[in-house]
């Protein structure tokens, strides 16, 4: 892991982009970041072009989280080229906001104009069950970090707008796919926290009063970076545990989170397969 105060984002992204382009000459159309339980996503009509371990991409921090592979796969159906990214960097691993977002800026530098972001999240909404899927309508960045802080304007403007951080058209498309696939897709607000400790029950009750429906330890910074670099964003959360913080709150275990991530993950895979066709 690199010391956070010596990370040069622009230089890292250029180094990583140049390395990938030395092995793969084309451009990427869309990118998908695969959270826990989804890393083995294989799209029917797409074949593999090339794949990279994050560890082999100079400039990119290594992913250290369990259940995250750290692989960037480029796949194509002859018309569309996608980057499927299994694994991401998290604040809770000790990375800075800019290190967390190096992958996002890299995907944009490789040509991606759309970012589909998935994650595992606890439900703050009593109507959600573990194993469900939520379309992220908007987010609350409760991490206390921001990847744009301290940047020059290499990647985008100084005060990027976030009033429409998740693309409406992409959301509508995904909702109609869910309808036709009979996947019940909640629509809700994701609140991003730093972790790695889970929230206290009082914190969860507070987040519910904020209007948040799901809580997780990723996504919000990447979505800020994606908007900063003018990408369209679609977000899907795998609901992995009940995080209501009420009198019935059970202790959270990583086993439960991973088991439900894979149940919700199956539905997210169906949605994505249909979306990419
Ligand atoms: N809180 C934070 N992050 C999470 C949770 C949670 O309850 N579940 C999965 N990721």
- Could you identify the atom of ligand 1 that is nearest to the CA of residue 252? 7
Task: Give the Å distances, CA to CA, from 70 to 62, 166, 246.
Answer: 7, 25, 36
Q: How far is the CA of 60 from the centre of ligand 1 (A)?
A: 25
At a CB cut-off of 8 Å and minimum separation 6, what does 48 contact?
73, 74, 75
Q: How far is the CA of 45 from the centre of ligand 1 (A)?
A: 33
In the predicted model, what is the mean pLDDT of residues 21-35?
Answer: 96
Q: Is the pLDDT of residue 38 over 70?
A: yes
Could you give the CA distance from residue 153 to residue 14 in angstroms, rounded to a whole number? Answer: 15
Q: Which of 199, 236, 238 has the most ligand 1 atoms within 8 A of CB, as the residue to mutate?
A: 199
CB of 115 shorter than 6 A to ligand 1: no
In the predicted model, what is the mean pLDDT of residues 110-120?
Answer: 97
Q: Give the pLDDT confidence score for residue 14 in this predicted structure.
A: 97
Q: Is the pLDDT of residue 184 over 50?
A: yes
Q: Is the pLDDT of residue 188 over 60?
A: yes
Q: What is the mean pLDDT of the chain?
A: 94
In the beta sheet, which residues pair with residue 120?
Answer: 238
Q: Is the pLDDT of residue 35 over 60?
A: yes
Q: Residue 191's pLDDT band (boundaries 50, 70, 90)?
A: very high
In the predicted model, what is the mean pLDDT of residues 5-26?
Answer: 94
Asked if 35 and 261 touch (Cβ cutoff 8 Å), the reply is yes
CB of 252 shorter than 6 A to ligand 1: yes
Pairing outcome for strands 133-141 and 232-242: antiparallel
Q: How far is the CA of 151 from the centre of ligand 1 (A)?
A: 29
Q: Give the pLDDT confidence score for residue 2 in this predicted structure.
A: 41
Q: Give CA 163 to chain center in angstroms.
A: 19
Q: What are phi and psi of 176, to 5 degrees?
A: -75, -30
Q: What is the signed CA dihedral for 73, 254, 134, 209, rounded to 10 degrees?
A: -140
Percent residues over pLDDT 70 in the chain: 96
Could you give the CA distance from residue 64 to residue 21 in angstroms, rounded to a whole number? Answer: 25
Q: Give the pLDDT confidence score for residue 63 in this predicted structure.
A: 57
Q: Is the pLDDT of residue 3 over 80?
A: no
Q: pLDDT tens, 239-253?
A: 999 999 999 999 999
CB of 264 shorter than 6 A to ligand 1: no
Q: pLDDT tens, 57-72?
A: 999 986 565 555 799 9
Could you give the CA distance from residue 207 to residue 70 in angstroms, rounded to a whole number? Answer: 30
Could you give the CA distance from residue 154 to residue 12 in angstroms, rounded to a whole number? Answer: 12
Q: Is the pLDDT of residue 4 over 60?
A: no
Burial of 53 (0-12, 13-18, 19+ CB in 10 A): middle
Q: Give the pLDDT confidence score for residue 146 in this predicted structure.
A: 98
Q: What are phi and psi of 123, to 5 degrees?
A: -90, 130
What is the SS3 assignment for 232? strand
Q: Give the pLDDT confidence score for residue 68 in this predicted structure.
A: 54
Q: Give the pLDDT confidence score for residue 66 in this predicted structure.
A: 56
């Amino acid at each position: 892991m690199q010391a956070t105060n010596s990370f040069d984002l622009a230089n890292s992204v250029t180094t990583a982009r140049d390395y990938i382009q030395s092995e793969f000459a084309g451009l990427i159309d869309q990118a998908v970041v695969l959270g826990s339980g989804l890393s083995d996503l294989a799209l029917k009509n797409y074949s593999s072009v090339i794949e990279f371990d994050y560890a082999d991409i100079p400039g990119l921090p290594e992913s250290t989280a369990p259940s995250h592979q750290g692989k960037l796969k480029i796949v194509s159906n002859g018309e569309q080229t996608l980057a499927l990214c299994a694994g991401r960097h998290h604040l809770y691993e000790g990375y800075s906001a800019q290190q967390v977002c190096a992958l996002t800026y890299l995907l944009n530098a490789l040509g991606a104009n759309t970012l589909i972001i998935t994650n595992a999240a606890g439900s703050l909404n009593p109507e959600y069950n573990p194993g469900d899927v939520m379309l992220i309508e908007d987010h609350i960045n409760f991490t206390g970090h921001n990847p744009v802080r301290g940047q020059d304007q290499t990647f985008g403007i100084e005060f990027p707008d976030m009033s429409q951080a998740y693309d409406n058209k992409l959301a509508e498309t995904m909702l109609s796919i869910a309808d036709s696939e009979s996947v019940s897709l909640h629509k809700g607000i994701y609140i991003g926290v730093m972790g790695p400790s889970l929230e206290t029950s009082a914190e969860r009750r507070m987040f519910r009063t904020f209007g948040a429906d799901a809580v997780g330890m990723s996504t919000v910074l990447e979505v800020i970076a994606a908007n900063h670099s003018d990408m369209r964003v679609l977000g899907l959360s795998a609901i992995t545990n009940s995080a209501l913080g009420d009198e019935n709150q059970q202790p959270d275990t990583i086993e439960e989170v991973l088991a439900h991530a894979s149940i919700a993950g199956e539905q997210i895979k169906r949605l994505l397969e249909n979306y990419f066709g």
